[in-house]
């Protein structure tokens, strides 16, 4: 039995775990990193990276079909689905060295490719090695949640982890789940030539602003996607190439392939958390504002911490715990400034409160300003006029922003900055954006907050009139 004593043990080599390990070792801490599966975790191998690569392939096919409005003849693209998957794997391979075992060992991290499980409050077993650490960070992420729908265990299906091994384009893809993963993959496959049906038990894109989500869903339906809402799957039957999903209300959906995309489940099962006195529930490990678990020597970050499940949140969490672990300084995580995006076309992005949340919190004191993409000159020039920005303002400060439209995921960053730093709308309005860019949408939204105060105010008009009368 090998025994190791270290300053910091990190369990999980996904985005959060790698960020903690790299930061800590480069600042002088002794670090051990455990990873039994693939370095880079879900984001690199099954999530963010491959999905965006496939979305890019679908977008290219869609562009070829719709060039006539620019004076370029529409063409029917010849889609090689296997080659599109090669593109996906090439993207993964290009990024992988940054997350590789070799790189982290080069930084000074001791990497052990084994599962880790607690044997007591201070000790973790990994294969034939026992590790005792001053502090432990659990960063095991999450996995696809597959609900116990009757018949599913007898039918071939894909999740976001297994979809990337498929080499033949599905003739008719059934997607159970209308959240971000399901909707993104549905549109990508639709544009690559599959017939696609999304089956959602409640409302598609139900966690987003309903006005903005409706714009995305309308575009998808225009492109030919069937989106069935309030269609809770009751039974799934069939075989490869002929699958049937029956909803509780009697609706029946038939297709050739099935993708289950109903959510994520925190990876806690193999950790033996009870031995370490660490509490958890179905959402994940219970943590306080500093991301400490009920065992004060152990932290949990990223998806497994039961909060927002995004790669950039795991990276943010890494910064929070490093401050506490390495320097012994108080450090707390927040969520109100965390942005997220769904990379459909058009994209949908959010930071802070939605309009409904802000209305509930601030009532009549809330102001909502809007600006449409169809009044942005760059959007007009590029034919990307479908879109809208809404900014929720309380006492002159933005408390939330919702954007649907081209590059919404990029545009939301400004509002994340503003909310994180408690900036005022006047500071956004003072920004000069280059013309013509989509970035002007943000400035125009800020301008829309001040327009009624300046241009519709009798008081302002009287003051200006008086000044003009006596101005030499």
pTM, 2 dp: 0.95
At 84-96, the pLDDT tens digits run 999 999 999 999 9
pLDDT bin (cut points 50, 70, 90) of residue 406 is very high
Report if residue 270 sits inside a domain.
yes
* Burial of 187 (C-beta count, 10 Å sphere; 0-12/13-18/19+): buried
Q: What is the CA radius of gyration of the chain?
A: 25
288 and 344 inside one domain: no
Closest C-alpha among 194, 163, 199, 2 to residue 88: 163
CA gap 146, 430 in Å, rounded: 49
Report if residue 271 sits inside a domain.
yes
Q: Write phi, then psi, for 353 (nearest 5 degrees).
A: -75, 145
> Residues 72-82: what's their mean pLDDT?
97
378 and 394 inside one domain: yes
pLDDT confidence of residue 186 = 98
Strands in 301-411 per DSSP E: 339-342, 347-352, 367-372, 388-394, 397-405
Do you know the residue count of the chain?
472
CA gap 101, 110 in Å, rounded: 9
**204: left (phi > 0), else alpha (psi -120 to 50), else beta?**
beta
366 and 402 inside one domain: yes
> Residue 161: how many CB atoms within 10 A of its CB?
13
Report if residue 201 sits inside a domain.
yes
Whether the Cβ atoms of residue 267 and residue 140 lie closer than 8 Å to each other: yes
Containing structural domain, residue 252: 152-263
* Number of structural domains in the chain: 3
pLDDT confidence of residue 143 = 96
Alpha helices in 384-432 (DSSP H): 408-420, 425-430
Q: Supply the CATH number for residue 23's domain.
A: 3.50.50.60
282 and 360 inside one domain: no
* Burial of 154 (C-beta count, 10 Å sphere; 0-12/13-18/19+): exposed
Q: Are strands 257-260 and 172-176 parallel, antiparallel or unpaired?
A: parallel
* Burial of 423 (C-beta count, 10 Å sphere; 0-12/13-18/19+): middle
Report if residue 83 sits inside a domain.
no
- With a pLDDT cut of 90, the percent of the chain lying above it is 94
23 and 130 inside one domain: yes
292 and 355 inside one domain: no
DSSP symbol at 292: B
> Residues 290-315: what's their mean pLDDT?
96
> Residues 219-244: what's their mean pLDDT?
98
Report if residue 93 sits inside a domain.
no
CA gap 310, 372 in Å, rounded: 28
Closest C-alpha among 263, 265, 203, 190 to residue 232: 203
Q: Which of 327, 347, 373 is the last residue of a domain?
A: 327
At 89-143, the pLDDT tens digits run 999 999 999 999 999 999 999 999 999 999 999 899 999 999 999 999 999 999 9
pLDDT bin (cut points 50, 70, 90) of residue 472 is confident
Report if residue 200 sits inside a domain.
yes
pLDDT confidence of residue 452 = 74
């Amino acid at each position: 039995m090998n025994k190791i004593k270290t300053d910091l043990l990190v369990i999980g080599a996904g985005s959060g775990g790698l960020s903690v390990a790299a930061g800590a070792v480069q600042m002088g801490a002794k670090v051990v990193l455990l990873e039994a599966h693939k370095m880079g975790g879900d984001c690199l191998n099954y999530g963010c990276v491959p999905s965006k690569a496939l979305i890019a392939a679908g977008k290219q096919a869609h562009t070829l079909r719709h060039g006539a409005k620019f004076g370029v003849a529409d063409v029917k693209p010849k889609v090689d689905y296997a080659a599109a998957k090669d593109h996906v794997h090439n993207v993964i391979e290009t990024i992988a060295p940054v997350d590789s075992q070799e790189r982290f060992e080069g930084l000074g991290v001791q990497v052990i490719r084994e599962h880790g499980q607690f044997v007591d409050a201070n000790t973790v077993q990994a294969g034939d090695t026992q590790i005792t650490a001053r502090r432990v960070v659990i960063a095991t992420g999450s996995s696809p949640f597959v609900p116990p729908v009757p018949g599913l265990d007898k039918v071939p299906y894909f999740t976001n982890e297994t979809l990337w091994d498929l080499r033949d384009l599905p003739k008719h893809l059934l997607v159970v789940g209308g959240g971000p993963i399901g909707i993104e993959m549905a549109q990508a496959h639709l544009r690559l030539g599959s017939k696609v049906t999304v089956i959602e038990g409640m409302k598609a894109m139900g966690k987003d602003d309903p006005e903005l989500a409706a714009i995305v869903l309308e575009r998808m339906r225009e492109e030919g996607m069937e989106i069935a809402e309030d269609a809770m799957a009751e039974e799934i039957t069939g075989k490869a190439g002929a699958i049937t999903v029956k909803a509780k209300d009697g609706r029946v959906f038939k297709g050739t392939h099935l993708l289950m995309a109903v959510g994520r489940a925190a990876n806690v099962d193999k950790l033996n958390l009870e031995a370490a006195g660490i509490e958890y529930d179905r959402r994940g490990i219970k943590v306080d504002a500093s991301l400490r678990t009920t065992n004060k020597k152990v932290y949990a970050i990223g998806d497994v911490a039961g909060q927002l499940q995004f790669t950039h949140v795991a990276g943010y969490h890494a910064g929070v715990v490093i401050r506490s672990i390495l320097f012994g300084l108080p450090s707390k995580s927040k969520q109100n400034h965390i942005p997220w995006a769904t990379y459909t076309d058009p994209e949908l992005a959010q930071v802070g409160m939605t309009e409904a949340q802000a209305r509930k919190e601030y009532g009549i004191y809330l102001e909502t300003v809007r600006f449409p993409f169809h009044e942005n000159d760059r959007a007009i020039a590029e034919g990307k006029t479908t879109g809208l920005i809404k900014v929720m303002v309380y006492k002159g400060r933005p408390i939330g922003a919702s954007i649907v439209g081209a590059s919404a995921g990029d545009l939301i960053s400004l509002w994340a900055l503003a909310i994180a730093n408690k900036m005022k709308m006047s500071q956004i309005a003072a920004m000069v954006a280059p013309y013509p860019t989509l970035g002007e949408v943000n400035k125009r939204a800020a301008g829309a907050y001040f327009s009624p105060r300046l241009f519709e105010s009798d008081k302002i008009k009287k003051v200006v009139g008086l000044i003009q009368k006596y101005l030499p």
